[in-house]
């Protein structure tokens, strides 16, 4: 799927509820309260953090292409929505197999380990122990050295190559895609292609190649998790998010569980109350036992749910007009829990565009 189609998929879920920057922050994996809420509200988990290094210029060029093509448009307030042609296009999109919420950019660590392992095996098997490593990251180099002292120790190059190749082929990805993926790898006498070189060879844009590469890594890592093998499991160790919470939110959660109130936590951690509120919303999104009724009355929770369904919106500014007596923080907490309850486990079919969290904007 192209980068344009990915953005159209995201906008189909945000349809008319958010500005274009929401999609940009989502794809980069911004750990702000708003982006995390949007991920949950609109079922955007597959796309979260899929391109951590995404440049604003690349995003804007894609956005302008969709605008010029008449697939998306902006309201007077700047929020973006799908046109009739956009809805038709979005409904015809094929499935995507991204898993950004789980990997959050860490698939790149897996690839760096893989690339350095392949390069090392290639050079050492040729009797060459002096070469420029493809990764200058000390942590990656340390990981690979450890692998050669443990799981790779005593393994013949052909055994290592076989497990890697069989694991990749077992994903069922088509040959052309596998060829493009392999072209990024470096070995003895063969340098991995840059995005620019690969674009010139294949005719695909660099952004489309990057999207395909990330999706390929997610597909492969999911397959490794389902059917682990010694070398691939070692290479992928630690790339899956162990907790959905940010480190800072986890510390706030620990203090809250220890009996501290929000003002005390803010003082103890020397953080603004708005930051602590962001943490609580993040916790509410991810913790099914979160005590929402300690923060809002049951009748208010039900009233907000009904109004959100009636108005087919999750926009705080709209709901605040209906509930002037509730704070923005209370509304955010309620919506966080409603999003979780609507989605049950918090996920939906990542291949289905236009399925926001029951806001009435399905295609």
Find out whether 43 and 51 touch, Cβ atoms under 8 Å.
Answer: no
Helices (H), 100-174: 100-103, 107-125, 138-149, 157-169
Q: Classify residue 229: in a domain, yes or no.
A: yes
Distances (CA, A) of 141 to 27, 60, 124, 154, 232: 28, 35, 15, 19, 16
Residues 114 and 213 in one domain: yes
Q: How far apart are CA 112 and CA 161, in angstroms?
A: 16
Give the angle subtended at the CA of 30 by the CAs of 21 and 73, to the nearest 5°.
15
Distances (CA, A) of 8 to 287, 312, 347: 30, 20, 19
Residues 280 and 326 in one domain: yes
Top-confidence residue, 299 or 350: 299
Residue 297: both structure tokens together:
């009355």
Q: How far apart are CA 212 and CA 210, in angstroms?
A: 5
SS3 state at 309: helix
Q: Determine if residue 312 is left, alpha or beta; phi over 0 gives left, psi from -120 to 50 gives alpha, anything else beta.
A: left
Q: Classify residue 131: in a domain, yes or no.
A: yes
Q: Classify residue 241: in a domain, yes or no.
A: no
* pLDDT value for 357: 33
Residues 197 and 289 in one domain: no
Confidence class for position 69, pLDDT limits 50, 70, 90: very high
Residue 119: both structure tokens together:
């390069």
Average pLDDT over residues 150-175: 94
Domain C-terminal end among 186, 210, 235: 235
| CATH number of the domain encompassing residue 59 | 1.10.10.10
Residues 207 and 161 in one domain: yes
Residues 160 and 183 in one domain: yes
Residues 76 and 111 in one domain: no
Task: Please tell me the pTM assigned to this model.
Answer: 0.85
Q: How far apart are CA 259 and CA 291, in angstroms?
A: 13
Q: Classify residue 56: in a domain, yes or no.
A: yes
- Percent of the chain residues past pLDDT 90, beyond the cut: 76
Domain C-terminal end among 96, 127, 161: 96
Counting the structural domains of the chain, the total is 3
Name residue 72's beta-bridge partners.
Answer: 82
What are φ and ψ of residue 85, in 5° steps?
-65, -35
Query: What's the length of the chain?
Result: 363
Average pLDDT over residues 84-106: 93
Residue 85: both structure tokens together:
């042609």
Residues 170 and 128 in one domain: yes
Residues 282 and 251 in one domain: yes
Residue 298: both structure tokens together:
């049951």
The owner of tokens 């955010």 is 332
Residue 209 C-beta-side C-alpha neighbours within 13 Å = 21
Residues 254 and 329 in one domain: yes
* Residue 55, domain extent: 3-96
Residues 275 and 326 in one domain: yes
Q: Classify residue 189: in a domain, yes or no.
A: yes
Q: How far apart are CA 242 and CA 226, in angstroms?
A: 16
Q: Residues 268-320: pLDDT tens digits?
A: 999 999 999 999 999 998 888 899 999 999 999 999 999 999 998 888 989 99
Q: Report the range of poorest mean pLDDT among 35-39, 59-63, 71-75, 349-353.
A: 349-353
* pLDDT value for 245: 85
The owner of tokens 């094929």 is 94
């Amino acid at each position: 799927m192209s980068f344009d189609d990915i953005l159209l998929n995201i906008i189909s879920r945000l349809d008319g509820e958010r500005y274009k920057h929401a999609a940009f922050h989502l794809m980069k994996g911004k750990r702000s309260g708003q982006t995390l809420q949007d991920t949950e509200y609109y079922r955007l988990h597959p796309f979260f953090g899929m391109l951590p290094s995404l440049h604003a210029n690349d995003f804007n060029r894609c956005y302008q292409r969709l605008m010029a093509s008449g697939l998306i448009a902006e309201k007077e307030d700047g929020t973006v929505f799908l046109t009739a042609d956009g809805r038709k296009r979005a409904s015809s999109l094929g499935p995507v197999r991204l898993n950004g919420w789980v990997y959050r950019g860490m698939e790149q660590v897996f690839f760096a380990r893989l690339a350095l392992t392949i390069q090392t095996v290639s050079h050492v098997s040729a009797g060459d122990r002096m070469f420029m490593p493809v990764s200058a990251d000390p942590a990656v180099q340390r990981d690979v050295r450890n692998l050669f002292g443990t799981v790779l120790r005593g393994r013949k190059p052909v055994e290592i190559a076989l497990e890697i190749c069989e694991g990749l082929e077992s994903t069922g990805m088509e040959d052309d895609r596998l060829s493009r993926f392999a072209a990024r790898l470096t070995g003895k006498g063969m340098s991995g292609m840059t995005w620019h070189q690969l674009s010139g060879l294949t005719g695909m844009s660099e952004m489309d190649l990057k999207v395909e590469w990330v999706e390929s890594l997610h597909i492969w890592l999911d397959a490794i998790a389902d059917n682990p093998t010694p070398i691939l499991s070692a290479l992928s160790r630690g790339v899956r998010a162990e907790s959905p919470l940010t480190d800072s939110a986890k510390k706030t959660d620990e203090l809250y569980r220890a009996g501290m109130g929000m003002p005390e936590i803010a003082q103890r951690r020397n953080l603004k109350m708005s930051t602590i509120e962001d943490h609580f919303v993040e916790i509410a999104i991810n913790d099914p036992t979160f005590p929402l009724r300690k923060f809002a009355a049951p009748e208010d929770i039900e009233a907000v749910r009904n109004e959100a369904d009636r108005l087919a919106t999750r926009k705080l500014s709209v709901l605040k007009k209906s509930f002037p007596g509730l704070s923005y923080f209370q509304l955010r907490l309620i919506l966080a829990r409603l999003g979780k309850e609507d989605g049950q486990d918090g996920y939906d079919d990542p291949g289905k565009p236009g399925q926001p969290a029951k806001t009435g904007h399905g295609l």
